[in-house]
A and B are shown apart, each in its own frame.
Chain A
Amino acid sequence: MKFAKLTASTLAIAAVSATSAVARDNIQVAGSSTVLPYASIVAEAFGDNTDFPTPVVESGGSSAGLKRFCQGVGEEHTDVANASRKIREKEIQACAENGVTDIIEVRIGYDGIVFASQQGGPDYTAFTQADIFTALAPKVMVDGALVDNPYTKWSDFNADLPDAEILAFIPGTKHGTREVFEEKVIAVGCEATGAMAAMIDAGMSEDDAEDACLEVRTDGRSVDIDGDYTETLASIYANVNGIGVFGLAFYENNTDKLKVATMAGVAPSTETIASGEYPVSRPLFFYVKKAHIGVIPGLKLYAQFFISDELAGPSGPLANYGLVSDPELGKIQQMVADEVVMGGGM
Chain B
Amino acid sequence: MTDASMDTPTPRRKKISLVADDARTKKRNKAEKRFQAYGIGAIAIGLFFLLVLATSILRSGIPAFTTTVVSVEFTLQQEEFDEAEGQLFKTKAYSNYFISALQTTLTEKGIKVSFDEASIERVMGKIGSTLREHYSASPDTLGQPVDFSLGASSRVDGYFKGRVTREGLQDSRFLTLADLDLVDALAEAGIITTTFDWNFITGADSGVDNPGGAGIGASVVGSFFMMLVVLFLSLPIGVAASIYLEEFAPQNRWTDLVEVNISNLAAVPSIVFGILGLAVFIQFAHLPQSAPLVGGLVLTLMTLPTIIISTRASLKAVPPSIRDAALGVGASRMQSVFHHVLPLAMPGILTGTIIGLAQALGETAPLLLIGMVGFVARGYPDGFISGFIDPNSAMPAQIYTWAARADASFYEKAWGGIIILLIFLLTMNIIAIILRRRFERRW
Residues of A within 8 A of B (CB): 1, 4-5, 7-8, 11, 23-24, 26, 28, 30, 33, 36-37, 39-45, 47-49, 53-54, 56-60, 71, 75-76, 78, 227-230, 249-250, 252-256, 305, 308, 310-311, 316-317, 320-321
Contact = CB atoms under 8 A, between A and B. Distances in A.
A37 B405 contact: yes
A49 B133 CA distance: 10
Nearest first, the 7 A-B pairs at minimum CB distance are: A58-B374, A44-B207, A310-B89, A54-B378, A57-B375, A253-B406, A40-B375
Contacts of B404: 33, 59, 227-228, 230
Interface stretch (B21-29, B102-110, B283-291): B283-291
A255 B407 contact: no
B17 to A, nearest CB: 61
A202 to B, nearest CB: 43
Contacts of A227: 404
B19 interface: no
Contacts, number: 143
Nearest to B163: A256
B162 interface: no
Contacts of B405: 37, 230
B371 to A, nearest CB: 5
Contacts of B374: 30, 36, 56-59
B172 A252 contact: yes
Contacts of A60: 368
Contacts of B371: 28, 30, 56, 58
B209 A317 contact: yes
Interface stretch (B339-347, B382-390, B429-437): B382-390
Interface string B371-405: 10111101100110110111100000000000111
B406 A45 contact: no
Nearest to B406: A253
B91 A48 contact: yes
Contacts of B89: 45, 49, 308, 310-311, 316
A150 B107 CA distance: 65
Contacts of B207: 37, 40-45
A255 B376 contact: no
A49 B288 contact: no
Nearest to B207: A44
Chain A CB within 10 A, most for which of B169, B290, B389: B389
Contacts of A75: 286, 288
A11 B386 contact: yes
Contacts of A71: 283
A50 to B, nearest CB: 9
A176 to B, nearest CB: 17
27 contacts: A4-B293, A8-B386, A11-B383, A24-B289, A37-B406, A40-B375, A41-B208, A41-B210, A44-B207, A45-B89, A48-B129, A49-B89, A56-B371, A56-B391, A57-B374, A60-B368, A76-B282, A227-B404, A230-B404, A250-B406, A252-B173, A252-B174, A255-B172, A256-B168, A310-B87, A320-B209, A321-B209
Nearest to B368: A60
Interface residues of B, number: 52
A206 B91 CA distance: 54
Contacts of A42: 207
Contacts of B335: none
Contacts of B168: 256
B132 interface: yes
Given A75-B286, A76-B286, 9 more contacts: A24-B289, A37-B207, A39-B375, A48-B129, A49-B89, A76-B282, A253-B408, A256-B169, A308-B89
Contacts of A305: 88
A95 to B, nearest CB: 16
B288 A24 contact: yes
Nearest to B165: A256
Contact of B388 (A4, A228, A252, A308): A4
B128 interface: yes
Interface string B138-177: 0000000000000000000000000010001110111000
A24, A41, A49, most chain B CB atoms within 10 A:
A49
B208 A255 contact: no
B283 A58 contact: no
A158 B38 CA distance: 54
B206 interface: yes
B223 to A, nearest CB: 17
Nearest to B204: A54
B323 interface: no
A33 B407 CA distance: 15
Contacts of B92: 310, 317
Interface in B178-218: 206-210
Contact of B406 (A5, A11, A24, A229): A229
Nearest to A56: B391
A346 B139 CA distance: 44
Contact of B90 (A4, A24, A49): A49
Contacts of A308: 88-89
Nearest to A254: B406
A321 B405 CA distance: 12
A344 B390 CA distance: 37
Contacts of A59: 373-374, 404
A234 to B, nearest CB: 10
A4 B210 CA distance: 34
Contacts of B282: 76
B403 A45 contact: no
Contacts of A255: 170, 172
A328 to B, nearest CB: 20
Interface in B398-429: 403-408
Interface-central residue, A47, A48, A57, by most chain B CB under 10 Å: A48
Q: Which of B91, B92, B170 has the most CB of A within 10 A?
A: B92
Most buried by A among B91, B169, B283, B374: B374
B179 to A, nearest CB: 15
Which of B128, B206, B285, B378 has the most CB atoms of chain A within a 10 A radius of its CB? B378
Contacts of B407: 253
A253 B208 CA distance: 11
B91 A320 contact: no
Contacts of A78: 289
Contacts of A36: 208, 374-375
A47 B283 CA distance: 27
Contacts of A33: 404
Contacts of A1: 285, 287, 293
A59 B402 CA distance: 13
